[in-house]
Amino acid sequence: MYIGISAYNHESAAALIDDKCELIDFCKEESISRIKGDKSFPARSIQKILDDNNLDIKNIEKFIFYERPLSAFLYPLKIASMNLPKSIPLMTHQFRNFKKSSLTCFLDLSKIYSGSEKKLYYLDHHLSHTLTALLYSEVHENLCSIVVDGFGDRSTASIHNVTDPYNIKELWNLKYPFSIGLFYSAITDYLGFSINEGEYKVMGLAAFGNPKSKYNQVINKLIYWDKKNKSIKIDLKYFNYHTSITDSYSEELIPLLGSPRNPFNQLLPEDSDFQRYADIARATQDVTEKLLIEIFKYGHELTGLTSFLFSGGVALNSVSLKRLANLPFVDQIIVPPSPGDAGAAIGAAYYGFLKGKFGSDIIKKPSLFPSLSKFDKQFNQASKIISEDFHVLTQEKEEALIVCSKLIKKGEIIGTIVGNAETGPRALGNRSLICDGKNHDAVKFLNTVIKNRSPFRPTAPVMKMETARKFYKINDALIKAYYSMSATCECLEDSDALNFPVTHVDGTARLQIAEEGSFIFSLLSKLSSYDVDILANSSLNISGDPTCLDFFDGLLVGVNSKLNYLLTDYGLLEKKS
């Protein structure tokens, strides 16, 4: 048994892979602690994995940490040291927070499971990402892996040639501080959204922007592909993320783009500054896509391969995938459901397996719902909450689906806590808020009242494959990505879908194709009798919180929001008025 660990940078997580190369369990620390973006050492996740799988720490052969800690510590310091004295505060912060850096992984593990630190191993950060993506691929040989993120342990983007799982050669890398991820985050910050949280919002806002605005030229000068050196260059005069702990962009950026947005001013399409911010978001999105295209082209040039793995935090940019998949040399792009740092724990565990005594020919593609949810005990614990705050409409599964279908048809919104939880940041039905995807009022209520999201943000649809092909331009190169809601696609010309509330202002949707056998697939099958073939699907949480994991989390969203119905493994619940 192998446990992969990711921690200290973004969301921490733990993953368990067994001797048959099967992903047995996966858990994000934020899901348990309920602290969004929890980057602490994932002690609770590891313990939950051990408990739920009846394992003892002795059963774990290796713990594998998803990066090389000294590299992750030294590289940013090296760059900061070249910018002295400006970077002194950053350096001081790094030294003073040494105890919170990944260098302490060894100590944290030994504190909790004494002796286990001897079983701790490390691999390159971008290799963790590549291995995560590889696990989700049907083929495991002759692939070109593209990894793009903010910063790993030495580079910010890389191209790997995957001859087979034991031969993964790095052909190109982009050195920190040049980073697409950090550039995108700095603009996110400038636009008033939180870094590592608001990038989705920038992506959504970009759809309102004019692609030919004056900001397009401006942004294109800030970051560009250096043809001669086959690399990306950033004009660092406009950014501070490599020298400051608090400011991601410099004062120099303000004369170029205008005043940054105050995060507390709500962004509404009718506001005077909305178009300027949307244009900046659009220019940022466009230049990001352009740079990703250059990396893919170079990857193809170096390897001659046409099947790609794409991972790292920037692979969460689902809009860019649409353009990448249209490149003439691309046959397919595999994006893991959790391409960011949390998901890299899966790649780390896989590395442990590969370094063990087993062959790679027995790789099993992981489920989209790998996070074991053994919460039966909570049904008894929550009995008083259920009786006081909810009506139990039915405890019979089939009947619950029928009642849910009727409610959805009536325009109601249902929260779901069923079966195992999803790996990635996108809820795929088991921890979702769902409603009729063609009902404008219901989708608006879900988005703005229950979720309290900005009105410019789209809500994603979920449907079966045959429905998707009826309304949307499905690109076969991305077919796997649609199952985990990782890519957007355009509506077919003159399609009714252009008027669906789940279609964004630019005529695209980040659709999810329901996987056969999943809960959402069963519900869609039931809903066909009620003339509902598309559901709006958003994660079950209230804005700012992590997606719900267990029964109590779901009940809390129920009592703390305007959500009236919860479908759970216990039964279908209706909130008392």
Partner 1 sequence: MKKNLKKETQILNVLYETAHAEFGSALEMLAACKKCDSPSTAFGYFHHAKDEYNHANTFFSILKPKAKNVVVSKARELRFQPYSVITKGYVSPKGFLIEFMHLKDFIAFVYTNELLANSSFQKMLTLLGKKTEDGEKISKIMEDELTHHGMAKKHFLKYYPALQPWQLRLYKTREHIKNNGRKFYDKNLKLLEIIFKPIYLSFSYFIGKIISFLNLNEFNREGKNLMDISQKSIL
Residues 86-105 that bind partner 1 (CB under 8 A): 87-88, 91-92, 95-96, 103
Q: List the interface residues with partner 1, window 286-325 (CB under 8 A).
A: none
Residue 393 binding partner 1, by CB under 8 A: no
Count, residues near partner 1 per rule CB under 8 A: 82
* Tokens standing for residue 245: 């702990």
CB of 388 to partner 1, least distance (A): 7
Site string for partner 1, 321-360 (x = CB under 8 A): ------------------------------x--xx-----
- What secondary structure, in 3-state letters, does 87-114 show? CHHHHHHHHHCHHHCHHHHHHHHHHHCC
Q: What is the dihedral of CA 520, 521, 525, 530, to 10 degrees?
A: 30
CB of 104 to partner 1, least distance (A): 11
Q: List the interface residues with partner 1, window 4-33 (CB under 8 A).
A: 33
- By the 8 A CB rule, do 428 and 512 touch? yes
3-state secondary structure of 537: strand
E strand residue ranges, 282-400:
307-311, 332-334, 390-394
Question: Could you tell me which residues come within 8 angstroms of residue 37 by beta carbon, excluding any fewer than 6 positions away?
Answer: 10, 11, 30, 196, 197
CB of 254 to partner 1, least distance (A): 9
For tokens 């004019």, name the residue. Answer: 210
Residue 200 binding partner 1, by CB under 8 A: no
Of 80-88, 178-186, 211-219, 477-485, the window that binds partner 1 (rule: CB under 8 A) is 80-88
With 0-12 / 13-18 / 19 or more C-beta atoms within 10 angstroms meaning exposed / middle / buried, residue 314 is buried
CB of 189 to partner 1, least distance (A): 7
Candidates 104, 140, 124; CA nearest to 347 is 124
Of 64-72, 419-427, 484-492, 528-536, the window that binds partner 1 (rule: CB under 8 A) is 64-72
CA dist 219 → 185, 197, 238, 514, 566 (Å): 14, 22, 11, 38, 45
Q: List the interface residues with partner 1, window 118-147 (CB under 8 A).
A: 121-124, 126-127, 130
Instruction: Name the β-bridge partners of 311.
Output: 147
CB of 69 to partner 1, least distance (A): 5
Looking at the Cβ atoms of 80 and 203, the one nearer to partner 1 is 80
The binder of partner 1 chosen from 385, 479, 492, 498 (CB under 8 A)? 385
* Tokens standing for residue 314: 């920037």
Q: List the interface residues with partner 1, window 237-276 (CB under 8 A).
A: 246, 259-265
Looking at the Cβ atoms of 87 and 137, the one nearer to partner 1 is 87
Looking at the Cβ atoms of 154 and 464, the one nearer to partner 1 is 154
Looking at the Cβ atoms of 154 and 300, the one nearer to partner 1 is 154
Q: What gap in Å lies between CA 138 and CA 123, rounded to an integer?
A: 23
CB of 420 to partner 1, least distance (A): 18
